[in-house]
Amino acid sequence: MKIALATDHAGYEQLKQLKEYLVAEGYECQDFGPASFDEADDYPDFIFPAARAVASGDCEAGIIMGGSGQGEAMAANRVKGARCTLFYGPVVAKAAIDAQGTVSEDPYEILRLSRRHNHANVLSLSARFLTFEEIKRAVSVWLEASYDIAERHTRRVGKLDT
């Protein structure tokens, strides 16, 4: 799987570490930058090209980062065909997560749901709110999850992409 990577200055160091981790896990990575640390950089300059690579199919997934990850997710979601989810950190569901009444105790289940139900193809991570161990776990959980091709999910995702 080829993964598009991008960040701003706030996630620069973590993204370098994440790239090393992903390559060691057997993933191919295309790094959209930045190439060096610059406190004055503008995240759209790096996020838009990464999101476009995912939307076009050049990359099968994208992982982006920023201080909060919020602006980066907003930027990615402006690219037609990019469906970006944002992860701030582990959280446990307070109520049922599916129609069968299942309540998950897994603090990373929200990542699986973003893939299954929303077919998220870009993951935005909060560099200031996650440890590197949490980042690795989040990325692994998210990449291992698959799309649920039930009609209701594909219908809804289709409306996002039109």
Catalytic residues: 72, 117
Question: For the packed helices 132-144 and 12-24, what is the interaxial angle rounded to 10 degrees?
Answer: 50
What's the count of helices (H) and strands (E) in the chain, helices before strands? 6, 5
Q: Six-digit token pair at 130?
A: 């996650």
Spatial distance between the Cα atoms of 63 and 51, rounded to a whole number of angstroms: 9
130 C-beta neighbours (distance < 10 Å), count: 21
Q: Six-digit token pair at 84?
A: 């970006």
Residue appearing with tokens 């996650």 = 130
